[in-house]
Amino acid sequence: MKIIVPLLSSSILIGPVAGIIGGNELMKARTYVAGIRTTVDPKSEDNFSHCGGVLITSTHVLTTASCAEAAPANFVSVGAYFVNGGEDGEEIKVRSVTKHPQFNRNTLSNDFAVLTLEKKCSKKPVQLPAPGGADIRSGMWVTAMGWGLTSASADAMSSEKLKELHQQIIPNDVCRKALKSTTIGMSHVCAGGQRGQSPCVGDMGGPVIRGDASVDGNDVLIGLIAGSDGCGVKQGIPAIYARVSSVLPWINSVVKNSK
């Protein structure tokens, strides 16, 4: 039996992931995609997005709690196309980080954090999903986005440009069987399973939207990149995403109380 465990490197275990393997470079940035950063100092070796997030209001970015714990979430770069963010993203300091109170590091259940920004962002936020997951169904196509590793090899590099990967939703019971895991629950949604097509290290916290991301205004957020088992090395192993609809009341409460 497998359980979900934290993954902050390219280990072959189910856990937080950080890149897109087998996807395509987007033709342009998405207004709501955010890079999470420790610094915006161009002279720093840490001047890049270590994981992803998504703008949900003009002053709030949603990411995973795993991302917020991996490195200090001091800044966001919203609407960026390049991983360093400074070339085209709107860089804003993070005022506070609120992790979901029931976040479980071992199972990655409730893997969410809300970043409250010090000032308003001018970019267009993503749409939030319907309550209760009514907008998620088996076989539906979704798009994951991130700057993570582009292969599972030991010398793999993160993508300089934002990438996307199209996958189909699979039922959670099928996901549990494929992963031999009993920890896939209501706060998760699974997709994909094709060899060579998966999120990987560096994509953690990035958005998973309904549809093909063809028009920003039509994009509905259904998940955040949370876990993978081997970055697409094996056929039939789906990716694990944090299901946003499962925590909408908590998100709305944090947003309301942090304005």
What is the average per-residue pLDDT within 68-90? 85
Provide φ and ψ at 147, rounded to 5°. Answer: -115, 20
Where does the pLDDT of residue 86 fall: very low under 50, low under 70, confident under 90, or very high at 90 and above? Answer: low
- Separation of alpha carbons 199 and 227, rounded Å: 8
- Minimum mean pLDDT range among 8-12, 21-25, 151-155, 211-215: 8-12
Provide the pLDDT confidence category of residue 49 given band limits of 50, 70 and 90.
confident
Q: What is the pLDDT of residue 79?
A: 92
Beta bridge mates, 91:
77
- Band (130; pLDDT cuts 50, 70, 90): confident
pLDDT of residue 81: 84
Q: What is the DSSP letter of 78?
A: E
Domains and CATH numbers, the chain: 14-25+127-245 (2.40.10.10), 33-125+247-257 (2.40.10.10)
Residue 250, phi then psi, degrees to nearest 5? -65, -45
The more confident residue out of 14 and 171 is: 171
pLDDT for residue 95 is more than 70: yes
Question: How confident is the model at residue 12, as a pLDDT?
Answer: 31
User: What does the pLDDT read at residue 150?
Assistant: 56
More confident call, 118 vs 40: 118
Q: What is the residue type of 120?
A: K
Asked whether 147 and 163 are in contact (CB, 8 A), the reply is yes
The whole-number average pLDDT for the span 182-186 is 88
| 6, 66, 227, 209 alpha-carbon torsion, rounded to 10° | 180
For residues 178 and 198, is the Cβ–Cβ distance under 8 A?
no
For position 164, what pLDDT does the model report? 86
Q: Is the pLDDT of residue 10 over 60?
A: no
Closest CA to 128 of 228, 247, 226, 213: 247
pLDDT tens-digit readout, 162-173: 888 889 999 999
Higher confidence at residue 166 or residue 44? 166
